[in-house]
Amino acid sequence: MASFDIIKENIHKGKYPRLGSGSGRVVFDLNNGYVIKAAKNRRGIAQNKAECVIAKNDRSSMFAKIIDASKDYHFVIMEKADRVQSISIVWRYYKVKNNRELSGLDPFKKICSRHDLLMSDLYRRMNWGLVKGKPVIIDYGFTKETKKLY
């Protein structure tokens, strides 16, 4: 397991560049091809946990991989992805013209039902990133369940 104590210390020292933040988490670049997603609140912890469950059960390889998490789910370590400038990058990859067509694709219907995700969350470029040039979902902790809770 990664030493989350050392990572925590490094975050406080400002050693890792901050890549972004959302409602539940702040994300730093570990400078080794991975990012650390640090929960800011209870919702962030629930999102980290949900992402771990999905990553573990995933058969689609449509999600950025998680390689480690702290026991309390305060932290997860995920593959670093490059920014997706426009959702049309995702459309192009899946050879569709718009989000309506995207939502009709089998792999999308499958991951949404399997992991309890809302299709509409996959329409936004911010939830996507590029790993080795392939679009993958980077923010997938927002299941219907975590949405209901917080």
Q: Which stretches of the chain bind ligand ADP, using CB under 6 A?
A: 19-25, 27, 35, 37, 44, 47, 64, 78-81, 126, 129, 138-139, 141
Instruction: Report, in this order, helix, strand and coil percent for the chain, each rounded to 5.
Output: 40, 25, 35
Which residues on neighbouring strands pair with residue 35, listed in sequence order? 29, 78
Nearer to Mg ion, 51 or 139 (CB): 139
The whole-angstrom separation of Cα 125 and Cα 90 is: 8
> Of ligand ADP, Mg ion, none, which one sits near residue 103, judging by CB under 5 to 8 A according to partner kind?
none
Which residues on neighbouring strands pair with residue 39, listed in sequence order? 25
Nearer to ligand ADP, 101 or 145 (CB): 145
> Of Mg ion, ligand ADP, none, which one sits near residue 64, judging by CB under 5 to 8 A according to partner kind?
ligand ADP
- DSSP state at residue 3: -
> Of ligand ADP, Mg ion, none, which one sits near residue 21, judging by CB under 5 to 8 A according to partner kind?
ligand ADP
The residues that touch Mg ion, with contacts defined as CB under 5 A, are 22, 139
Please check whether residue 120 is in contact with residue 43, taking contact to mean a CB–CB distance below 8 angstroms: no
> Of ligand ADP, Mg ion, none, which one sits near residue 30, judging by CB under 5 to 8 A according to partner kind?
none
Please check whether residue 138 is in contact with residue 121, taking contact to mean a CB–CB distance below 8 angstroms: no
Nearer to Mg ion, 111 or 138 (CB): 138
Residue number of the CB closest to ligand ADP reads 22
Q: Is 100 helix (H, G, I), strand (E, B) or coil?
A: helix
